[in-house]
Amino acid sequence: MKHINWLYSWFNVWFVSIALGCMILAAPVGLVFVSVFFPQTEIWQHLYSTVLSDYIVNSLVLAFGVGFFVIVIGTVLAWCIARYEFAGRKQLQWLILLPMAMPAYIIAYTYTGLLDYAGPIQTLLRETFHWQYGDYYFPNIRSLPGAIIMLSLVLYPYVYMLARTAFSEQPSSLEEVSRSLGVPPIKHLFKVVLPLARPAILMGAALAMMEAFADYGTVQYFGLSTFTTGIFRTWFGLGNGIAAAQLAAMLTSFVVLLLILEYLSRRKIRYYFQGQRSQQINRQKLTGSKAFWVPFVCVIPVFLGFILPVLQLLKWATMTYSKQLTSEFWLLLWNSFYLAAIAAITAVILALLFAYGKRLHPIKPIQLLVGVVNLGYAVPGTVIAIGAMISLSWLDIKINTLTENWFDISVGLVFSGSLFALILVYSSRFLAVAMHNIDTGLSRVKPSMDDAARSLGYKPLQILKIIHVPLMKTSVLSALLLVFVDVLKELPATLILRPFNFNTLAVRAFELASDERLMDAALPALAIVSVGILPVILLTMLMDKPDPQSSQVN
Amino acid sequence: MKNIIFCMFVITTMLSPLVMAEQVNLYSARKEALIKPLLDKFTQQTGISVNLVTGKADNLITRLKSEGKYSPADLLLTTDVGRLYRAKQQGLTQAITVSAAISTLPNNFRDDQGHWLGLSLRARPMMVSVDRVDAQTIANLEDLISPEWKGRVCIRSSSNIYNQSMVASLIVQLGGSAAQEWVNGLVNNFARPPQGGDRDQIKAVAAGLCDVAIANTYYLAGMLSSEDETTQQQAKKVKVIWPNQAGRGAHINISGVTLAKHAPNKDAALKLIDFLLSKESQLWYATTNHEYPVLADIAWSELLQSFGTFKAEQVPLGQLGELNAAAVKMMDRAGWK
């Protein structure tokens, strides 16, 4: 009997289609690892004796620094918003998410413009106090700590979102129990609330750290030696693509370690709250000095991560908009929008299928395959893009040879020369984002629901459609919106793979900024931010609504 | 849904080449804003439409390579000679045969087999503070490594291609060990760890963080013609010093073009090359972009004239590409970030 079950779980439509889907998505990342089989001794000796230790140390410090700050900022904000009632709370809860719409490289550009030695703030200081260079200390923004702060300021919403959901889902009965047992609030926080929210917080932090590992724009602009800058240096400067891919493989291995750590930390924890949820938690109304400083603390990250940079961009944009605001600009806006929308829908559909397949057949091979595809998030966009370019061109050449032999026509570069390539890369890079959301959503639907539906004779896809998707509408939508915003900001893959005469806002902003024309780049940058705000606002409205999950289950 | 979208892509990509009349497909490492106006003029004059993808040179070369003989690209435009060399080295190019303008180019601005040629010239001199540096005290790049300049030199990261080409040209002209010595000495005199782009080095000199910077001239020209008052003021605080005028000359590089091996629209591509070397285009480079024209008889913009004339290096530019990796290793060893 057991044997038959085993066979059934291996040879079925779900397994085959998931395996196939994962393999296609994993091909670009997989190509990176193939490089390991072609040793490049001479160049590694050079790297080892000169720059490799820099790459490792800086990348690790960057990622863990960002991890630390996003946990602190995100958790504090989530706690304040989920548990306290104060003036401005309603506005703050969506303001807090806005930095998500800000690409890290753009915030880096604006802060450099502000805080650099030649920038307005230091110049003002020098002119006011008649200082010269060396007379005073001013922190250097273009440094490793600077990069950690820049990335943390735009990545903390990942932790905030997940932690806030976790906090507001904790039944207030827990708090009542603690209180009735005489446990002081602070102890309740550290012994009950945080441990219960830990999986959500760590998941958010892991996403942020993966972004930090893969960041290229910021570290490149700040002149830091990390893995990502090292990959390009090795590839372009030293002209060795294989060694560059090996560096990328090494970077990806760090992320695998990180993910294993995250997995281990929540392995033993499975909570299903919905069944027992008794009542909506009451938010504590703040009075006295707390009513003043809690909102103040909550505003700081938004101010630094969004308001201040946007003001700076606005100032630049007013100086240059007449040159930038042409009919072509609206085309860029439209391109960015529809590309992001298609990519988001594709990634979420795939994530739904994968996550559900994983739930239906919790067997090792499927989990492993899905895990490999999730790694894409940590691989720098350029590396995946090159992987996709090489594999798709190979496919195209084969197809053309075939059609030429059979029909005597060549169809051209059907895959690598079209938007298909971009959608593939976005899916394989951002699937992790969608998966994290949908996994969390699915894991909160009690398995007994599946069993009940199955016993009523429903097929798996039907169950997914009529039970799971409606139940986790919030998770599906937030997955959609997150991928949308991510694609909107995505740069390197778009730059490498886009077809002829196709540009996006991110490409335009980057081209101008990398040509050191920050002011001209301000308008497209602002446009990215404003298109990105829409989904972010939608997201907050969703988070605010009563969770359909709880209302239906009860 | 996915199938429908997918089919749409396939159809549109298949149809697009059929719809167009005469056309050229261009892979350009030159930013869109710095080439599109010229291409539009070309289309106006000839009726040939130009399809453009911009990107980093090495990515475009990889794309060209992986697409093989089905690549739609006719021309590859780069902003430094090393990449042109690399494309030729990988067998992705062919000789530009019939082009009227090519014969008027100086020899070292084109490949000896005619695979690539220069379209504009970029110079990388020293720029010193007007207030704090007596221009008479500094004449050569080699001066920068003397103890007198300790803690006063600003230059961007060695990941940048302009620095890589500059060091490569020193390797050609001074030999490996002397070039390494110069790189070590320069790193020793840095005012700060390299950061930012060329404009940031100029701004740092203006603000007093350092006294001398090495930067490409068109960045300074761009700052001088900026709409922003502060940027203009900063640019006015530095002065261009042409190095090694009594000796080998100042370091230069070219932006250039190469013809793809499997170019499907070769005739139209050659017409575009001719157009880019025409007087009109050369004048556009020199006035709008503040780059030096590759042809001798083109008038410079007033800004370029204000920097003065100079003697340029006579290195066969192809060699810079050959020595690029050696230059990067040299800078790694010296600890040039």
Do both A543 and A495 map to the same domain?
Answer: yes
Q: Which residue of chain B has the CA closest to A491?
A: B55
Question: What are the pLDDT digits (tens) for B155-172?
Answer: 999 988 899 999 999 999
Question: What are the pLDDT digits (tens) for B53-82?
Answer: 988 888 899 889 888 888 999 999 999 888
Do both A334 and A295 map to the same domain?
Answer: no
Q: Is residue B91 classed as helix, strand or coil in its secondary structure?
A: coil
Do both A159 and A46 map to the same domain?
Answer: yes
Task: Find the CB nearest B328 among A229, A233, A420.
Answer: A233
Does position B132 have pLDDT exceeding 50, yes or no?
yes
Counts for chain A of helices (H) and strands (E), in that order: 28, 2
Interface of A with B in 481-500 (CB under 8 A): 495-496, 498-500
Check if A117 contacts B (Cβ < 8 Å). Answer: yes
Check if A40 contacts B (Cβ < 8 Å). Answer: no
Do both A309 and A165 map to the same domain?
Answer: yes
**pLDDT: is B41 or A474 the higher one?**
B41
Do both A306 and A336 map to the same domain?
Answer: no
- For residue B99, what pLDDT is reported? 62
A100: tokens are 């998500």
Check if A519 contacts B (Cβ < 8 Å). Answer: yes
Lowest-pLDDT range, A28-32, A159-163, A262-266, B234-238? A262-266
Q: Which residue of chain B has the CA closest to A141?
A: B195
Q: Do A500 and B52 touch (CB under 8 A)?
A: yes
**pLDDT: is A3 or B316 the higher one?**
B316
- For residue A268, what pLDDT is reported? 61
Do both A293 and A384 map to the same domain?
Answer: no
Does position A109 have pLDDT exceeding 80, yes or no?
yes
- Select from B240, B239, B251, B241 the least CA-distant residue to B312: B251
The pLDDT of A546-554, averaged and rounded, is 42
Q: Do B33 and A511 touch (CB under 8 A)?
A: yes
Looking at domain B2-122+254-300, which CATH architecture does it have? 3-Layer(aba) Sandwich (3.40)
Check if A220 contacts B (Cβ < 8 Å). Answer: yes
DSSP string for residues in A364-386: HHHHHHHHHHHGGGGS-HHHHHH
Task: State the nearest Cα–Cα gap between B237 and chain A, in angstroms.
Answer: 12
Do both A329 and A287 map to the same domain?
Answer: no
- For residue A554, what pLDDT is reported? 31
Do both A293 and A415 map to the same domain?
Answer: no
Task: State the nearest Cα–Cα gap between B4 and chain A, in angstroms.
Answer: 12
On whether residue A246 sits in a domain, the answer given is: yes
Rounded distance, CA A463 to CA A28, Å? 32
Do both A366 and A437 map to the same domain?
Answer: yes
- For residue A146, what pLDDT is reported? 94
- For residue B173, what pLDDT is reported? 94
Q: State the total domains in chain A.
A: 2
List chain B residues with CB under 8 Å of A116.
196, 200, 203
DSSP string for residues in B285-326: IIIII-PEESSTTPPPPHHHHHT---PBP---THHHHHTHHH
- For residue B42, what pLDDT is reported? 94
CATH code, B123-251+311-334:
3.40.190.10
B55: tokens are 């990107």
Rounded distance, CA A309 to CA A443, Å? 38
Burial class (CB in 10 A: 0-12, 13-18, 19+), A364: exposed
B216: tokens are 């490409």
Rounded distance, CA B272 to CA B299, Å? 22
Residue spans per domain, chain B: 2-122+254-300, 123-251+311-334
Do both A81 and A119 map to the same domain?
Answer: yes
List chain A residues with CB under 8 Å of B17.
412
What ipTM score was computed for the predicted complex, to two decimals? 0.75
On whether residue A25 sits in a domain, the answer given is: no
Task: State the nearest Cα–Cα gap between A523 and chain B, in angstroms.
Answer: 14
Q: Which residue of chain B has the CA closest to A342?
A: B5
Q: Do A133 and B209 touch (CB under 8 A)?
A: yes
On whether residue A27 sits in a domain, the answer given is: no
Task: State the nearest Cα–Cα gap between B41 and chain A, in angstroms.
Answer: 16
Rounded distance, CA A184 to CA A167, Å? 18
For chain B, give the percent of residues with pLDDT over 70: 92
CATH code for position A440: 1.10.3720.10
On whether residue A287 sits in a domain, the answer given is: yes
Do both A335 and A471 map to the same domain?
Answer: yes
Mutation target for B interface from A500, A504, A511: give the one with most B CBs within 10 A. A500
**pLDDT: is A170 or A280 the higher one?**
A170
Strands across the sheet containing B238-241: B153-154, B212-214, B126-129, B238-241
Domain that holds residue A236: 34-270+282-316
Check if A512 contacts B (Cβ < 8 Å). Answer: yes
For chain A, give the percent of residues with pLDDT over 90: 16
Q: Do A418 and B68 touch (CB under 8 A)?
A: no
Do both A304 and A427 map to the same domain?
Answer: no
pLDDT band of A442, cuts 50, 70, 90: confident
Task: Find the CB nearest A236 among B33, B58, B227.
Answer: B58
- For residue A401, what pLDDT is reported? 87
pLDDT band of A154, cuts 50, 70, 90: very high
